Structure 1
Amino acid sequence: MSAELIAEIRAADLFLISTPMYNFTVPAVLKSWIDYMVRPGFTFSLAPGWPGMLENKKARLIVVSRDSYIPGEPSEAADLVTPVLRKVLDFMGIHDVDVVRAGSSLAANLGKVRIDDHLAKYEADVAALAKV
């Protein structure tokens, strides 16, 4: 299974990871994918510095959470998913990573704002991820 997943990512120039934040971390299925992907001799080298072997790839992340984590603000420290994914990708040699943090809205959760209106504010950011 791991070899098949690694072959898929080696064949791709760009890939998308869309994930929720569960209990302050990545869901178990995504953690399992990470464990299948991070393999010596396949995605990183055992040479000094442990260089990644998946260079010239691009990754796009959509991280969905209950709260909003805004880059550069104190709330960003509570986003424990994005740093993990960035570290894993960087370790495998994937440095071109763009992220959309699709946080929730208390107003939407309380029904004061239509969910479609809340989600609309992320449409441009998600569309921009597709531009290579």
Structure 2
Amino acid sequence: MAAEGRGPRLLIVPAPERCLGWALRAANGRPLGVGVRTYRSEEELAEAVRVLLIERAALRCSVAQSEGRQWVWSAYLPARSTRRMAAEPAPVARSARGYLRRDQCQAGAEGFLSGLQWVGQELRRGGRDGRWPL
């Protein structure tokens, strides 16, 4: 178990064209996952992360091999539409790196989900007052 206040952190990362993204890092700095979208403001980013943390129990991960034959995972939130022809859900997060084996990739996805759960619980307990970096 991690020491008080020590655990995964959500970080703001700069993106092209003056945008922002996010990354989830383990307490030791190892990347656990990254957001797929970029945002034009810190407020927009904070709202997207807030929704991600609230809906984290609904996240579903899929594992696939990339063109480079490395294993990667993507995390999806369910589509929020009642239309019959709703678009396929887009990923909200992905692995921060490729893996050599499928089982390593699946473990990476599980580590991401656990890290996100930890961050959500810390915020719920009032850790860091909701400020970045989390």
Q: For this structure pair, what is the TM-score category when the shorter chain's length is used for normalisation?
A: under 0.3
Higher strand share: 2
Normalised by the length of structure 2, the TM-score is 0.23
Higher helix share: 1
